[in-house]
Amino acid sequence: MIWLGIDTANTPLSVAIVKDGVLMMEENTALAVNHSLSAMPAIENLLNKVGMTPADIDRIAVSEGPGSYTGVRIGVTIAKTLAWTLEKPLVGISSLKVLASNVLFFDGIICPLVDARRGNVYAAGYQFDKSGLVSVFEDGHYSLDELIARLTEQEKPVLFVGKDTALHEQALLEQLGHRATFAPLQFNLPRASSLIHAAEHSAREAEVHTFVPEYRRMAEAETNWLKAQGKEPGRG
Amino acid sequence: MTKDIYIVGIETSCDETAASVVRNGNEIISNVVASQIISQKRFGGVVPEIASRHHVEQITLVIEEALISAGLKPKELDAVAVTEGPGLVGALLIGVNAAKAFAFANGLPIIGVHHIAGHIYANELMQPMAFPLLALIVSGGHTELVLMEEHGSFKLIGETRDDAAGEAYDKVARVLGLPYPGGPQIDRLAAESDGVVDFPRAWLESDSYDFSFSGLKSSVINYKHNLEQRGEKVNPHHVAAGFQVSVVEVLTTKAVKAAREYGVKQVIAAGGVAANSGLRASLEEAFGKEEIPFYVPPIALCTDNAAMIAAAGSAMYVDGVRGTLAMNGKPGMPLDSWK
């Protein structure tokens, strides 16, 4: 079983090939590369290095968001096009779960976090048990205050993971005190191998044609339009 | 007998998700367009983020449909042609990345096509192009006069300095309270009208082939304001007719002047506004008098489509033009010659 994993949900880019449960090769970068330009050459390079062709891929895993709208769409578009034309199954995994999968064995709440500007974050709460990562509160677009309120409710130690946690470290420490800990640097980038690991344990195989990113947020125009219609906007 | 060449074209530069298979650069085998017009109508125009979201939903379905109705498998194709630019960046990169992934998975070359080259090559699907050729491109995003001396050679001789013609149509339609998209509405009102409001023509400098439509748009707005302040009612038919006749007269006059100066053998119109009946009639009449063959593709090939991208991609393929997997969407891509 050969997996190709693709994560372009935020600034970092990660692609990996896992063969029969063994990571063959992974490429990670946190440089602000242009995913539209770099993602396909990275995949081509990966396959060349491991001596495989596209037809050798058995399954494709992709980070489905939330994150940068454009970034998520690039990964999802590449993944669904490859899955469709190669006629191979596709599995979408939350981009936050990918980050949480970097720090599986923490005893408490694992809180992956991506900055969403203007005091907002994309975040989720997970807990690790023998079955894997269990959701404590769902992936969402939260204000930092909302997130802190949710974490305070849990009364457990919290491990923040993701490179953007640095932006909010002070506020989180002020509010959560000694319960807040922060993952060291080597765990803070999304890794396509973590993505593939999560995908291998997911029962969710995507319907390729209708597969779309999990934006977790409506487009602004849509929110405004719904408000103008007197309807309550949802969470996209 | 030489082998047939099959190119799949992919177009996502604005609000249509489209794919098409073209044989030998001039024969449409399949042509699929998924329009977002019903969704975008709510916003009175194309919202880029909404457009990008719809493209991701549609892209593989549309390509698959184009292949199924062509009765071809991916490996039977010779190349993948995709709109590289110009257009909405978020929209472009859905087509570009789908095209790259599809090309890579099937070992096919990829070719990046300029959207305007596509609009011009829509004509190759109707009759062979004859050079030198003058192309008038008029759409929601473009107003350009392009001279072609041979296949793959483009010389921009005039362009809009502000609004595109189609943009002006949509804005004026909004002023008149007409639904989006405004072009066809104004065209209809103008055709039915029994009177014309006199609006100015923007000729710019006498030696220039450039266009400007923002002044005309302001004139329409001012005219409406003045009438409303005097408590008079605006006749939308008369305004539409006056606006249309001003746009059409400038486009026609400049196209005729350029055709004469460059001694062209053929004139073609392309782009969404080329579907406008008033503009078609005016150009047909003018070039009839000039005795220069004038062509405009059927409406389905005037508006955004992927057959035109496949047609231009076919000409590029024959000339050996190839892109790489590092291709990116180029929102401001210049119309460079490939020859």
User: Which residues of chain B lie closer than 8 angstroms to A44, CB-CB?
Assistant: 104, 325
Which fold is adopted by the domain A102-187?
Answer: Nucleotidyltransferase; domain 5 (3.30.420)
Q: Give pLDDT, residue A234.
A: 62
Q: What is the mean pLDDT of chain A?
A: 95
Same-domain pairing of B108 and B162: no
**Residue B228 maps to a domain:** yes
Reported as a single tens digit per residue, the pLDDT across A203-235 is: 789 999 999 999 999 999 999 999 998 887 665
CB contact under 8 A, B327 and A37: yes
Q: Which residues of B are annotated as part of the binding site?
A: 115, 119, 137-141, 170, 183, 187, 276, 304
- pLDDT surpasses 90 at B310: yes
Which fold is adopted by the domain A2-95+190-225?
Answer: Nucleotidyltransferase; domain 5 (3.30.420)
Same-domain pairing of B32 and B116: yes
Cα distance from A226 to chain B (closest Cα, Å)? 10
Domain tally, chain B: 2
Return d(Cα B158, Cα B145) in angstroms, integer: 5
Q: What is the mean pLDDT of chain B?
A: 95
**Mean pLDDT calculated for residue range B276-289:** 96
Q: Is B214 exposed, middle or buried (0-12, 13-18, 19+ CB in 10 A)?
A: middle
**Residue B239 maps to a domain:** yes
* pLDDT above 70 coverage of chain A, percent: 98
Return d(Cα B31, Cα B45) in angstroms, integer: 25
**Residue B338 maps to a domain:** no
**Residue B221 maps to a domain:** yes
Q: Which helix (H) or strand (E) holds B113?
A: strand B110-114
Same-domain pairing of B151 and B285: yes
Reported as a single tens digit per residue, the pLDDT across A7-24 is: 999 999 999 999 999 999
Tokens representing B21 are 């298979």
Reported as a single tens digit per residue, the pLDDT across A103-133 is: 999 999 999 999 999 999 999 999 999 888 9
Q: In what order do the strands lie in the sheet with B155-159?
A: B155-159, B143-148, B133-138, B266-270, B294-295
Residue B13 is part of a domain; what is its CATH number?
Answer: 3.30.420.40
Q: Give pLDDT, residue A5.
A: 98
* pLDDT above 90 coverage of chain B, percent: 92
**Residue B127 maps to a domain:** no
Q: Give pLDDT, residue B339.
A: 84
- pLDDT surpasses 80 at A27: yes
> Of B28, B13, B24, which Cα lies nearest the Cα of B307?
B28
**Residue B126 maps to a domain:** no
Same-domain pairing of B148 and B287: yes
Find residues 15-54 of chain A whose CB sits inside 8 Å of chain B. Answer: 34, 36-41, 43-44, 54
Cα distance from B102 to chain A (closest Cα, Å)? 6
Same-domain pairing of B111 and B193: no
**Residue B104 maps to a domain:** yes
Return d(Cα B132, Cα B153) in angstroms, integer: 10
- Note down the domain range covering B144: 132-296
Task: Report yes or no: B15 and B51 within 8 Å, Cβ to Cβ.
Answer: yes
Q: Give pLDDT, residue B66.
A: 98
- pLDDT surpasses 90 at B212: yes
- pLDDT surpasses 60 at A100: yes
Return d(Cα B79, Cα A60) in angstroms, integer: 24
Give the closest of B52, B101, B329 to A78, CB-based.
B101
Find residues 115-174 of chain A whose CB sits inside 8 Å of chain B. Answer: none
Same-domain pairing of B259 and B203: yes
Residue A235's CB is within 10 A of a number of other CB atoms, namely: 11
Same-domain pairing of B200 and B254: yes
With an 8 Å Cβ cutoff, the interface of chain B facing chain A consists of 42-43, 47, 49-50, 52-53, 56-57, 59-61, 63-64, 74, 90, 93-94, 96-98, 100-102, 104-106, 324-329
Domain residue limits, chain A: 2-95+190-225, 102-187
Same-domain pairing of B243 and B307: no
Same-domain pairing of B46 and B165: no
- pLDDT surpasses 80 at B1: no
Same-domain pairing of B139 and B283: yes
Q: In what order do the strands lie in the sheet with B27-35?
A: B27-35, B16-23, B6-11, B79-85, B110-114
Chain A interface disruption, residue of B10, B60, B102, most A CBs within 10 A: B60
CA A136 to chain centre: 16
Return d(Cα A109, Cα A103) in angstroms, integer: 11
Q: Give pLDDT, residue A38.
A: 95
Same-domain pairing of B231 and B307: no
**Residue B334 maps to a domain:** no
Reported as a single tens digit per residue, the pLDDT across B113-132 is: 999 999 999 999 999 999 99
Task: Report yes or no: B193 and B241 within 8 Å, Cβ to Cβ.
Answer: yes
DSSP assignment letter at B211 = B
Reported as a single tens digit per residue, the pLDDT across B44-103 is: 888 999 999 999 999 999 999 999 999 999 999 999 999 999 999 999 999 999 999 999
Per-residue pLDDT band at B38 (split at 50, 70, 90) = confident
Same-domain pairing of B238 and B279: yes
- pLDDT surpasses 70 at B147: yes
A216 and chain B in contact, CB less than 8 A = no
